[in-house]
């Protein structure tokens, strides 16, 4: 990761189906670079079950908007040529590109096949609720519109489970019965076994499936000149395969090939166990931190901010945590809806953007818009990323010692002589905290740059100052003598 790097997730669920996202992102490249964005996580680029699908109902991973399939050439986001031009432009500005890789399942089969299954209890997948029966499952994938890149054809033997019987119209979770198939054991144990998520579930214990998916990973990385991947739904995918997948890509493209996994689980011990199984070879999104922020936003003054970082991945494995406030899965209307309330969102972003640990991810919906409605947080988030880029360096001193007012100081470093920042967050009344910024700063005047506080503070001869924060707000302080940031008028963003 680049020092003080920031990842941006450049999509949300409600983007219009106009096929222009790749072109829009290409046009934004220079502005993102100037802002301080060092990597972009792009949505699934493959052909999905329909043109308007966000990409998670994956049909053909080799069709990047190149072939006439599913009544379209382009995907929701554009065509392959636009996709490649966009990545080239981002690379001109030294912005890395991470592709969202959806490998757990396939959808929109070309035809149904007849095979035997046994229905399982959806809340305890190890328990059968029916006898072996024959169904017509949607498992035949021949990709008649695509004529290159891969000759692999999928059939029922390549899947462990399906959720639909075309013959009867019945929906459920059906374990494929044949060739001694079982759910993979190297998955999350929620619902007894969480191998199956949706559609036709890939069988990563099948050697041909594992080989084909590794082949695809190498092909798409080379085809698009990717710098890394965001691995979707890995709690449902055989962890042994993920290990082999990453080994193969790094053997081909180098150890610097980046990977972050989406393992949606609040329990940090489960995330630690997963990292250990994979020899800490990838990052994980810090879902526990997200839920701490969610609880803090809902509970307001009754939440003990001193516990904000407790039980989080970033507190235990700071080099493996991708910190985020919200994303497409947590935003309103999603299946995992847990959106941080608006009043607390600026403070939550200040936490992940200014602290030393973690790799922060900025959500498109928070920075740009949701469903076309411009985000009210855009100006303050722009300011916080700017502060990170210019000032958030050096060791960190934490002051998580009060239930309603917490913060930290970044002491700065020699390589960035203007660096150093103090952050305070309040979920109650007006707050203050005496914090140390360094004896060498004695006499410096520090100003607050979000527009919440107009008066300056002066660092005393011992290197301390009393910093302030308004009730229910955040305050970000930097040295006025070195500042290239002017204090912001709160009315421009709140």
Per domain, the residue ranges of the chain are: 7-103+208-391, 106-206, 396-492
Predicted pLDDT at 417: 83
Predicted pLDDT at 42: 98
Which of the residues are catalytic? Answer: 232, 262
Q: Is the pTM value of this prediction over 0.85?
A: yes
Class at the top of the CATH hierarchy for domain 106-206: mainly beta
| CATH architecture assigned to 396-492 | Sandwich (2.60)
* Intervals of the chain under pLDDT 50: 490-494
Predicted pLDDT at 492: 43
| 7-103+208-391: CATH superfamily | Glycosidases (3.20.20.80)
106 φ/ψ angles, rounded to the nearest 5 degrees? -130, 150
């Amino acid at each position: 990761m680049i020092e003080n790097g920031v990842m941006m997730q450049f999509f949300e669920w409600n983007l219009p189906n106009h096929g222009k996202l790749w072109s829009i992102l290409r046009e934004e490249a220079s502005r993102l670079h100037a802002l301080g964005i060092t990597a972009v996580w792009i949505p699934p680029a493959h052909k999905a079950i329909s043109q308007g699908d966000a990409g998670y109902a994956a049909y053909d991973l080799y069709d990047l908007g190149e072939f006439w399939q599913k009544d379209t050439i382009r995907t929701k986001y554009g065509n392959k040529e636009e996709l490649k031009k966009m990545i080239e432009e981002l690379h001109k500005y030294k912005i890395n590109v991470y592709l969202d890789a959806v490998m757990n399942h396939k959808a929109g089969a070309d035809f149904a096949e007849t095979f035997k299954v046994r229905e399982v209890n959806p809340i305890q997948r190890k328990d059968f609720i029916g006898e072996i029966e024959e169904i017509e499952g949607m498992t035949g994938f021949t990709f008649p519109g695509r004529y290159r890149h891969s000759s692999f054809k999928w059939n029922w033997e390549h899947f462990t489970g399906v959720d639909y019987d075309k013959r009867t119209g019945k929906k459920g979770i059906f374990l494929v019965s044949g060739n001694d198939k079982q759910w993979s054991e190297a998955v999350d144990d929620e619902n007894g076994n969480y191998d199956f998520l949706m559609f036709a579930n890939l069988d990563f214990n099948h050697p041909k499936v594992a080989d084909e998916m590794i082949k695809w990973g190498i092909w798409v990385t080379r085809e698009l000149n990717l710098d890394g991947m965001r691995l979707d739904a890995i709690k449902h995918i055989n962890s042994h395969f993920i290990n082999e997948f990453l080994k193969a890509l790094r053997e081909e493209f180098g150890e610097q090939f980046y990977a972050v996994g989406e393992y949606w689980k609040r329990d940090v011990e489960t995330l630690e166990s997963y990292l250990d199984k994979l020899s800490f070879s990838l990052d994980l999104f810090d879902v526990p931190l997200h839920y701490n922020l969610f609880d803090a936003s809902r509970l307001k003054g009754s939440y003990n901010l001193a516990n904000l970082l407790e039980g989080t991945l970033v507190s235990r494995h700071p080099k493996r945590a991708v910190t985020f406030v919200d994303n497409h899965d947590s935003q309103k209307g999603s299946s995992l809806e847990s959106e941080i309330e608006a009043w607390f969102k600026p403070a939550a972003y200040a936490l992940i953007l200014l602290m030393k640990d973690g790799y922060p991810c900025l959500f498109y919906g928070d920075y740009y818009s949701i469903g076309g409605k411009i985000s009210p947080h855009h100006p303050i988030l722009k300011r916080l990323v700017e502060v990170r880029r210019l000032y958030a360096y050096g060791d960190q001193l934490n002051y998580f010692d009060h239930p309603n007012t917490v913060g930290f100081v970044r002491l700065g470093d020699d390589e960035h002589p203007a660096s150093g920042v103090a952050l305070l967050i309040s979920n109650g009344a007006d707050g203050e905290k005496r914090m140390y910024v360094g004896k060498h700063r004695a006499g410096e005047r520090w100003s607050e740059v979000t527009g919440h506080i107009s008066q300056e503070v002066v660092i005393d001869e011992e290197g301390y100052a009393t910093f302030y924060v308004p009730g229910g707000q955040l305050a970000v302080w930097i040295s006025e003598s070195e500042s290239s940031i002017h204090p912001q008028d709160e009315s421009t963003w709140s």
